[in-house]
Amino acid sequence: MLRYAPSARSFVVGLALAAAAALLYVAARETSVFAVRTIQVEGVPPALAQKVERALEPVLGTSLMKLSAGEVDRLATALPQVASVSYDRAFPNTLRVHVVQEQPLAVLRRGPGSWLVSSSGRVLTTVPQGTHGALPRIWVPSATVVALGGTLPPGVAAEEVAALVPALAAGLARVSTVSIDKDGQITYVLRGGLQVRAGTADRLLLKLTIARKILASMPISGYLDVSVPERPVALGNTQVSTGG
């Protein structure tokens, strides 16, 4: 088989083209040709989009070629309502940003204060008392420090927030409050006062799915204990059938 080696001339031309491309790349990075002049935000309501645009103003004038994903993420997620962002470079001068918004999961209550918190445990915003009635309440002691935009640390309602995530996934409706005792026993109180006792956090999604199915199939008052999901127990019943 014949093998053809590049000629000296083609080798030199190749080097020249590579050098030219490198120079063009450096020029694009270091000059204002591709500087960010417009920021387009999508995926969220207009009011939040405007806040994101203002938060990203420090990148105006930066070359799209030099733009740092970490910087864009840091600036945008400094807003409590922003969970994450991704972006595209729309040459020559537009930065297109897609925003994923934090979704409220519960209302955190501390004395007269109320805050919306997300499934990640982030404190999103203050809210008036009595609003967002469809969301569960999580109560914390009056001395608890709540930082807007911060994330609830372990021991300060973070575990209760984590316990609400599988309740939502299981379709367990009408949760009014959730509490966890010192032994890690989780209790959900539904609107109307029914308690769902789930035991510890292991197999929580399974337990709550079983609870939802039982509650949909028969009237129960008082409490439903699914801490042992294979043998659920309700007040007034020794054992409740799970339907196999």
Contact 112, 135 (CB under 8 A): no
Q: What is the DSSP letter of 172?
A: -
Q: What is the per-residue pLDDT for 78?
A: 96
**Domain CATH for 62:** 3.10.20.310
Quote the number of domains for the chain: 2
Based on the fold, state whether residues 126 and 223 are members of the same structural domain. yes
Confirm whether 10 is domain-assigned. Answer: no
Q: Are residues 95 and 206 in the same domain?
A: no
- Say whether both 86 and 114 belong to one domain: no
Cα distances from 139 to residues 83, 108, 176, in angstroms, run 24, 6, 11
Note whether 171 and 198 are within 8 A (CB). no
Do residues 60 and 135 both lie within one domain? Answer: no
**Residue after which a domain boundary falls, among 101, 120, 153:** 101
Identify whether residues 129 and 211 lie together within a single domain. Answer: yes
pLDDT (0 to 100) of residue 56? 98
Enclosing H/E stretch for 101:
strand 94-101
- List Cα–Cα distances, 125 to 106, 142, 177, 213, in angstroms: 12, 18, 19, 34
Q: How many CB atoms lie within 10 A of CB 186?
A: 25
Using DSSP's 3-state secondary structure scheme, residue 216 falls into helix
Q: What is the pTM of this model?
A: 0.81
* 86/145 same-domain check: no
In a domain, 24, yes or no: no
The pLDDT profile of the chain, 244 residues, written as one tens digit per residue, is 555 556 666 655 555 555 444 444 555 555 678 999 999 999 999 999 999 999 999 999 999 999 999 999 999 999 999 999 999 999 999 999 999 999 999 999 999 999 999 999 999 999 999 999 999 999 999 999 999 999 999 999 999 999 999 999 999 999 999 999 999 999 999 999 999 999 999 999 999 999 999 999 999 989 999 999 999 999 855 566 665 4
Range of the domain at 168: 104-234
Domain ends where: 101, 122, 147?
101
14 in a structural domain: no
* Strand order across the beta sheet in which 123-126 lies: 123-126, 113-118, 104-110, 137-139, 175-180, 186-190, 195-199, 223-225, 233-234
Among 73, 101, 129, where does a domain finish?
A: 101
Rounded to the nearest 10°, the torsion over CA 66, 71, 75, 76 is 90
CATH of the domain at 200: 3.40.50
